[in-house]
Amino acid sequence: RALAVPGGLWREIRVLPETGSTNADAVRAARDGAPEGLVIVAESQTAGRGRLDRAWVAPPRSGLTFSMLLRPAGVPVARWGWLPLLAGVGSCAAVSRLAELEIGLKWPNDLFVHDRKLGGILAERVDDAIVLGIGLNVTLRIDELPVPTATSLALAGSACTDRDPLLRAMLREIAEWYGRWRAAGGDPEASGLRAAYRDRCVTLGRRVRVELPAGRVVEGDAVDIDPAGHLVVRTAAGEERVGAGDVVHVR
Ligand code: BTN
Protein backbone atom coordinates (compact mmCIF):
# COMPACT_ATOMS: atom_id res chain seq x y z
CA ARG A 1 0.00 0.00 0.00
CA ALA A 2 1.39 3.38 -0.97
CA LEU A 3 1.21 6.36 1.32
CA ALA A 4 1.91 9.95 0.30
CA VAL A 5 5.14 11.14 1.87
CA PRO A 6 4.72 14.44 3.73
CA GLY A 7 7.66 16.25 2.14
CA GLY A 8 11.24 16.92 3.16
CA LEU A 9 12.67 14.51 5.69
CA TRP A 10 10.64 11.39 4.95
CA ARG A 11 11.95 9.84 1.79
CA GLU A 12 10.29 6.43 1.95
CA ILE A 13 7.29 5.03 3.81
CA ARG A 14 7.13 1.24 3.75
CA VAL A 15 3.79 -0.24 4.78
CA LEU A 16 3.88 -3.89 5.84
CA PRO A 17 0.74 -5.97 6.47
CA GLU A 18 2.55 -7.81 9.24
CA THR A 19 6.00 -7.91 10.79
CA GLY A 20 7.66 -8.90 14.05
CA SER A 21 8.64 -5.40 15.14
CA THR A 22 9.00 -2.27 13.01
CA ASN A 23 11.80 -1.17 15.36
CA ALA A 24 13.69 -4.40 14.70
CA ASP A 25 13.16 -3.90 10.95
CA ALA A 26 14.40 -0.30 11.09
CA VAL A 27 17.41 -1.29 13.20
CA ARG A 28 18.29 -3.87 10.55
CA ALA A 29 17.85 -1.27 7.79
CA ALA A 30 20.11 1.13 9.73
CA ARG A 31 22.81 -1.55 9.99
CA ASP A 32 22.47 -2.12 6.24
CA GLY A 33 23.16 1.58 5.67
CA ALA A 34 19.65 2.83 4.86
CA PRO A 35 19.57 6.63 4.68
CA GLU A 36 17.81 8.93 7.13
CA GLY A 37 14.09 9.38 6.53
CA LEU A 38 12.95 5.78 6.21
CA VAL A 39 9.61 5.04 7.87
CA ILE A 40 8.35 1.50 8.41
CA VAL A 41 4.67 1.08 9.25
CA ALA A 42 3.03 -2.23 10.14
CA GLU A 43 -0.66 -3.11 10.14
CA SER A 44 0.19 -5.63 12.82
CA GLN A 45 3.22 -6.71 14.82
CA THR A 46 3.81 -10.18 16.23
CA ALA A 47 6.73 -9.24 18.50
CA GLY A 48 6.31 -5.53 19.29
CA ARG A 49 8.94 -4.18 21.65
CA GLY A 50 8.36 -1.71 24.48
CA ARG A 51 10.64 0.20 26.84
CA LEU A 52 12.37 -1.51 29.74
CA ASP A 53 12.29 -4.91 28.00
CA ARG A 54 8.53 -5.02 27.86
CA ALA A 55 6.38 -6.15 24.95
CA TRP A 56 4.06 -3.88 22.95
CA VAL A 57 0.88 -5.80 22.28
CA ALA A 58 -2.01 -4.66 20.09
CA PRO A 59 -4.61 -6.53 18.02
CA PRO A 60 -4.06 -6.23 14.21
CA ARG A 61 -5.08 -2.85 12.74
CA SER A 62 -6.17 -1.56 16.15
CA GLY A 63 -3.45 1.05 16.30
CA LEU A 64 -0.57 2.81 14.65
CA THR A 65 2.77 1.09 14.90
CA PHE A 66 5.67 2.62 13.02
CA SER A 67 9.38 3.34 13.24
CA MET A 68 11.50 6.16 11.84
CA LEU A 69 15.18 6.00 10.99
CA LEU A 70 17.18 9.18 11.66
CA ARG A 71 20.87 10.04 11.36
CA PRO A 72 21.38 13.29 13.27
CA ALA A 73 24.89 13.95 11.94
CA GLY A 74 26.39 17.07 13.48
CA VAL A 75 24.39 16.86 16.68
CA PRO A 76 26.51 15.69 19.65
CA VAL A 77 25.42 12.24 20.84
CA ALA A 78 25.01 13.68 24.35
CA ARG A 79 21.95 15.52 23.00
CA TRP A 80 20.35 12.53 21.27
CA GLY A 81 18.47 11.76 24.46
CA TRP A 82 16.09 14.51 23.40
CA LEU A 83 15.00 12.61 20.28
CA PRO A 84 12.37 10.36 21.90
CA LEU A 85 11.07 13.42 23.77
CA LEU A 86 10.98 15.32 20.47
CA ALA A 87 8.96 12.51 18.90
CA GLY A 88 6.65 12.74 21.90
CA VAL A 89 6.15 16.49 21.52
CA GLY A 90 5.45 16.19 17.77
CA SER A 91 3.07 13.25 18.21
CA CYS A 92 1.20 14.93 21.03
CA ALA A 93 0.64 18.11 19.05
CA ALA A 94 -0.51 16.20 15.96
CA VAL A 95 -2.79 13.74 17.73
CA SER A 96 -4.28 16.40 20.03
CA ARG A 97 -5.26 18.49 17.01
CA LEU A 98 -6.91 15.68 15.04
CA ALA A 99 -8.47 13.96 18.04
CA GLU A 100 -9.67 17.27 19.53
CA LEU A 101 -8.38 15.97 22.86
CA GLU A 102 -5.73 17.31 25.16
CA ILE A 103 -2.96 14.74 25.00
CA GLY A 104 -0.05 15.03 27.38
CA LEU A 105 3.30 13.39 27.91
CA LYS A 106 4.04 11.32 30.95
CA TRP A 107 7.80 11.54 31.40
CA PRO A 108 9.73 10.48 29.45
CA ASN A 109 7.55 9.83 26.41
CA ASP A 110 4.26 8.09 27.05
CA LEU A 111 1.28 9.69 25.34
CA PHE A 112 -1.34 10.22 28.02
CA VAL A 113 -4.99 11.20 27.93
CA HIS A 114 -7.39 11.28 30.88
CA ASP A 115 -4.47 10.01 33.00
CA ARG A 116 -4.22 6.81 30.96
CA LYS A 117 -1.62 5.57 28.53
CA LEU A 118 -2.55 6.04 24.88
CA GLY A 119 0.81 5.36 23.31
CA GLY A 120 4.51 4.93 23.82
CA ILE A 121 7.85 5.55 22.15
CA LEU A 122 10.90 3.33 21.98
CA ALA A 123 14.29 4.71 20.87
CA GLU A 124 17.11 2.40 19.85
CA ARG A 125 20.54 3.62 18.81
CA VAL A 126 22.58 1.93 16.10
CA ASP A 127 26.02 3.60 15.82
CA ASP A 128 25.37 6.91 14.04
CA ALA A 129 21.67 6.24 13.56
CA ILE A 130 18.67 6.23 15.82
CA VAL A 131 15.38 4.42 15.42
CA LEU A 132 12.30 5.95 16.98
CA GLY A 133 9.30 3.64 17.21
CA ILE A 134 5.82 4.81 18.12
CA GLY A 135 2.85 2.73 19.17
CA LEU A 136 -0.52 4.47 19.43
CA ASN A 137 -3.76 2.80 20.54
CA VAL A 138 -6.42 3.92 18.08
CA THR A 139 -9.51 1.69 17.95
CA LEU A 140 -8.87 -0.79 20.78
CA ARG A 141 -12.01 -1.69 22.73
CA ILE A 142 -11.97 -1.90 26.48
CA ASP A 143 -11.62 -5.70 26.46
CA GLU A 144 -8.59 -5.39 24.15
CA LEU A 145 -6.49 -3.11 26.36
CA PRO A 146 -3.19 -4.74 27.35
CA VAL A 147 -3.38 -3.26 30.86
CA PRO A 148 -6.26 -1.61 32.73
CA THR A 149 -4.34 1.69 32.93
CA ALA A 150 -4.27 2.02 29.12
CA THR A 151 -6.78 3.61 26.77
CA SER A 152 -7.31 4.21 23.05
CA LEU A 153 -8.34 7.20 20.98
CA ALA A 154 -11.77 5.60 20.39
CA LEU A 155 -12.30 5.04 24.12
CA ALA A 156 -11.18 8.59 24.91
CA GLY A 157 -13.77 10.05 22.50
CA SER A 158 -11.44 11.10 19.70
CA ALA A 159 -12.83 13.11 16.79
CA CYS A 160 -10.55 11.07 14.49
CA THR A 161 -9.77 7.36 14.49
CA ASP A 162 -8.45 7.09 10.91
CA ARG A 163 -4.89 5.88 11.00
CA ASP A 164 -3.55 7.44 7.78
CA PRO A 165 -4.33 11.08 8.64
CA LEU A 166 -3.02 10.52 12.17
CA LEU A 167 0.21 9.06 10.82
CA ARG A 168 0.68 11.85 8.28
CA ALA A 169 0.09 14.54 10.90
CA MET A 170 2.51 12.90 13.33
CA LEU A 171 5.21 12.57 10.67
CA ARG A 172 4.76 16.18 9.64
CA GLU A 173 5.05 17.55 13.20
CA ILE A 174 7.98 15.31 14.06
CA ALA A 175 9.82 16.42 10.90
CA GLU A 176 9.22 20.07 11.80
CA TRP A 177 10.59 19.65 15.31
CA TYR A 178 13.50 17.59 14.06
CA GLY A 179 14.41 20.32 11.55
CA ARG A 180 14.28 23.00 14.25
CA TRP A 181 16.25 20.93 16.76
CA ARG A 182 18.89 19.97 14.25
CA ALA A 183 19.29 23.51 12.97
CA ALA A 184 19.99 24.51 16.59
CA GLY A 185 22.70 21.82 16.85
CA GLY A 186 20.42 19.78 19.13
CA ASP A 187 20.15 22.58 21.69
CA PRO A 188 16.85 21.95 23.53
CA GLU A 189 16.70 25.60 24.66
CA ALA A 190 17.42 27.40 21.38
CA SER A 191 15.11 25.07 19.43
CA GLY A 192 12.27 25.65 21.90
CA LEU A 193 12.02 21.91 22.48
CA ARG A 194 12.52 22.00 26.23
CA ALA A 195 9.82 24.64 26.65
CA ALA A 196 7.40 22.72 24.41
CA TYR A 197 8.11 19.50 26.28
CA ARG A 198 7.49 21.12 29.68
CA ASP A 199 4.19 22.56 28.41
CA ARG A 200 3.00 19.10 27.40
CA CYS A 201 4.40 17.17 30.34
CA VAL A 202 1.67 15.93 32.69
CA THR A 203 4.20 14.50 35.17
CA LEU A 204 5.35 17.94 36.36
CA GLY A 205 3.60 18.95 39.56
CA ARG A 206 2.68 15.37 40.40
CA ARG A 207 3.87 13.14 43.22
CA VAL A 208 5.84 10.31 41.58
CA ARG A 209 7.42 6.99 42.36
CA VAL A 210 10.25 6.18 40.00
CA GLU A 211 11.74 2.75 39.75
CA LEU A 212 15.29 3.22 38.44
CA PRO A 213 16.76 0.62 36.06
CA ALA A 214 19.03 -0.59 38.91
CA GLY A 215 15.97 -1.27 41.05
CA ARG A 216 16.26 1.66 43.47
CA VAL A 217 13.07 3.64 44.01
CA VAL A 218 12.87 7.44 44.19
CA GLU A 219 9.71 9.03 45.55
CA GLY A 220 8.93 12.74 45.60
CA ASP A 221 7.49 15.67 43.68
CA ALA A 222 8.31 16.00 39.98
CA VAL A 223 9.40 19.63 39.71
CA ASP A 224 11.22 20.09 36.40
CA ILE A 225 12.78 18.71 33.24
CA ASP A 226 16.48 19.62 33.23
CA PRO A 227 18.53 20.63 30.15
CA ALA A 228 19.48 16.97 29.62
CA GLY A 229 15.81 15.97 29.46
CA HIS A 230 16.02 14.30 32.87
CA LEU A 231 13.21 14.43 35.41
CA VAL A 232 14.00 16.46 38.52
CA VAL A 233 12.36 14.93 41.60
CA ARG A 234 12.28 16.73 44.96
CA THR A 235 12.56 14.10 47.68
CA ALA A 236 12.83 14.33 51.45
CA ALA A 237 16.62 14.01 51.04
CA GLY A 238 17.02 16.69 48.34
CA GLU A 239 16.80 16.79 44.54
CA GLU A 240 17.39 13.80 42.30
CA ARG A 241 17.78 13.84 38.54
CA VAL A 242 16.37 10.77 36.89
CA GLY A 243 17.59 9.85 33.39
CA ALA A 244 15.64 6.64 32.86
CA GLY A 245 13.13 4.66 34.77
CA ASP A 246 9.54 3.65 35.22
CA VAL A 247 7.40 6.46 36.61
CA VAL A 248 4.12 6.05 38.45
CA HIS A 249 1.99 9.10 39.21
CA VAL A 250 1.13 8.57 42.88
CA ARG A 251 -1.20 11.56 43.06
C1 BTN B 1 6.64 1.79 25.46
O2 BTN B 1 5.76 2.54 25.87
O3 BTN B 1 7.11 0.89 26.16
C4 BTN B 1 7.16 1.99 24.06
C5 BTN B 1 6.32 1.25 23.07
C6 BTN B 1 6.82 1.41 21.65
C7 BTN B 1 6.01 0.55 20.69
C8 BTN B 1 6.34 0.83 19.26
S9 BTN B 1 5.18 0.07 18.16
C10 BTN B 1 6.19 0.46 16.78
C11 BTN B 1 7.62 0.22 17.22
N12 BTN B 1 7.99 -1.16 17.00
C13 BTN B 1 8.21 -1.81 18.15
O14 BTN B 1 8.51 -3.01 18.26
N15 BTN B 1 8.04 -0.97 19.19
C16 BTN B 1 7.69 0.37 18.75
The average pLDDT across 202-221 equals: 94
Cα–Cα dist 139/64, whole Å: 10
Whether residues 86 and 184 share a domain: the answer is yes
- C-beta of residue 45 within 8 angstroms of C-beta of residue 57: no
213 lies in which domain range? 204-249
Residue 172 parent element (H or E): helix 163-183
Neighbours of 52 (CB within 10 A): 10
Whether residues 84 and 158 share a domain: the answer is yes
Whether residues 219 and 118 share a domain: the answer is no
Decide the pairing of beta strands 129-137 and 116-126. Answer: antiparallel
Kindly give the number of the ligand 1 atom that is closest to the alpha carbon of 49. 14
Cα–Cα dist 106/116, whole Å: 9
DSSP structure class, residue 230: P
The model's pLDDT over 105-154, given as tens digits with 9 standing for 90+, comes to: 999 999 999 999 999 999 999 999 999 999 999 999 999 998 999 999 99
Whether residues 178 and 151 share a domain: the answer is yes
pLDDT of residue 210: 95
The model's pLDDT over 12-34, given as tens digits with 9 standing for 90+, comes to: 999 999 999 999 999 999 999 99
pLDDT of residue 6: 62
Whether residues 119 and 217 share a domain: the answer is no
Listed residues 179, 199, 219: the one ending a domain: 199
Instruction: Look at ligand 1, atom 2, and give the residue with the nearest C-alpha.
Output: 120
pLDDT of residue 4: 63
The model's pLDDT over 141-197, given as tens digits with 9 standing for 90+, comes to: 999 998 999 999 999 999 999 999 999 999 999 999 999 999 999 999 999 999 999
- C-beta of residue 10 within 8 angstroms of C-beta of residue 171: yes
Asked whether residue 2 is domain-assigned, the answer is no
Question: In the chain, what is the straight-line distance between the N-terminal and C-terminal CA atoms, in Å?
Answer: 45
Give the 3-state secondary structure of 181-216.
HHHCCCCCCCCCHHHHHHHHECCCCCEEEEECCCCC
pLDDT band at 2 (very low <50, low <70, confident <90, very high): low
ipTM reported for the complex surpasses 0.90 = yes
pLDDT of residue 110: 97
pLDDT of residue 7: 61
Instruction: Look at ligand 1, atom 10, and give the residue with the nearest C-alpha.
Output: 65
Measuring from each residue's beta carbon to the nearest atom of ligand 1, which residues come in under 6 Å?
21-23, 45, 48-51, 54, 56, 65-67, 110, 120-122, 133-135
pLDDT of residue 143: 94
Residue 118 C-alpha to ligand 1 middle, in angstroms? 12
The model's pLDDT over 41-97, given as tens digits with 9 standing for 90+, comes to: 999 999 999 998 899 999 999 999 999 999 999 999 999 999 999 999 999 999 999
pLDDT of residue 213: 85
Number of domains present in the structure of the chain = 2
Whether residues 155 and 127 share a domain: the answer is yes
Cα–Cα dist 210/55, whole Å: 20
- C-beta of residue 94 within 8 angstroms of C-beta of residue 173: yes
For position 223, which CATH number holds? 2.30.30.100
Whether residues 183 and 234 share a domain: the answer is no
pLDDT of residue 246: 87
